[in-house]
Amino acid sequence: MSKPGIKVFAPATVANVAVGFDILGFAIDKPGDEIIVRKGKQPGLIITEIQGAEGKLSTDIMKNTAGFAAFKLLEALGETKRPIEMEIHKKMPFGSGLGSSAASAVAGVFAVNELLKTGLSKQDILSYAVAGEQIADGAWHADNVAPSLLGGMILIRDSETLDFKKLHIPEGLFAVVIYPHIQVLTKDSRQLLTETVNFKKVVTQTGNLGAFVAGMFTSDFGLIKRSLQDVLVEPQRAHLIPMFYEMKEAALNAGALGFSISGAGPSMFALCDNNLTAENIIIEAQKIYKTSKIKIDTYLSKINHEGAVRF
């Protein structure tokens, strides 16, 4: 007999978006993670089952992003002894650059918040989700967590205080995500980044970020296209991704507004001003990676405005 409970979904995300390292990200429709929570039989939060993780995730709530995020909420509510059972259904790969750990953290805290009917808003529980993801990569940042929870494309003004702003999404904007089946862990990818940067490149990147935000709010696709260029992080990480520059050239030639690395990689993304361009980029990706014998998954999506949802 099936047991009553609550099932939620938290979507994958594209972080950095070329010009906003650690401060910019958007949600896509799929893939994502699902979590089921229900009233438990013994005191405290317990992870009873994890599917799709190939044994790579701990059921210890203090070592699991979903469990820890939910625990931080329960701790704030003074409800750590509340009997709750959690099932985690991983529907996205590890080390993909699609915010896998963030989606789990978001789904975990969102599910428990829904189960307890706390009345807290998504924004109210954002910090607990960020705390959950932090145990996966050791960094306090919300460029994956915030869009996965809240939906849309989000600019984080200040990570410490989680001061953020949702950007306007122009009509007709589509995202293509290409995930080659290799693994790049965020911790490893971060270690590649230099601690010093060229001042001239900082000025260029700052101009690109400001112009990109302006282009989004004014639906100026020309400005968005001119702005989507990462001169700081992409050059340091591109070598981790087979065929990256070939794929980037093909996407831009097909009409993409911009093309870069999704999060820490190896996933890549393109933004497009119409669906046909997006479809053509997927065709090009399939051609390129067929020759390299690397399996890929592709996703075509509008920007997901909903974020985490209850089924």
List the catalytic residues: 133, 186
Angstrom distance (rounded) from CA 37 to CA 74: 13
SS3 content of the chain, % helix, strand, coil (to 5): 40, 25, 40
Beta bridge partners of 9: 34, 309
Angstrom distance (rounded) from CA 188 to CA 31: 23
In the structure encoding, which two tokens stand for residue 74, read together? 């329960």
The H or E element that residue 178 is part of is strand 174-180
Beta bridge partners of 177: 269, 299
Angstrom distance (rounded) from CA 36 to CA 20: 33
Angstrom distance (rounded) from CA 287 to CA 242: 14
Rg (CA), the chain: 19
In angstroms, how far is CA 29 from the centroid of its own chain? 11
Other CB atoms within a 10 A radius of the CB of residue 249 amount to: 13
End-to-end Cα separation, the chain, in angstroms: 20
Q: Tokens 């520059």 map to which residue?
A: 245
Supply the DSSP symbol for 201. Answer: H
Other CB atoms within a 10 A radius of the CB of residue 17 amount to: 30
The H or E element that residue 132 is part of is helix 126-137
Supply the DSSP symbol for 81. Answer: T
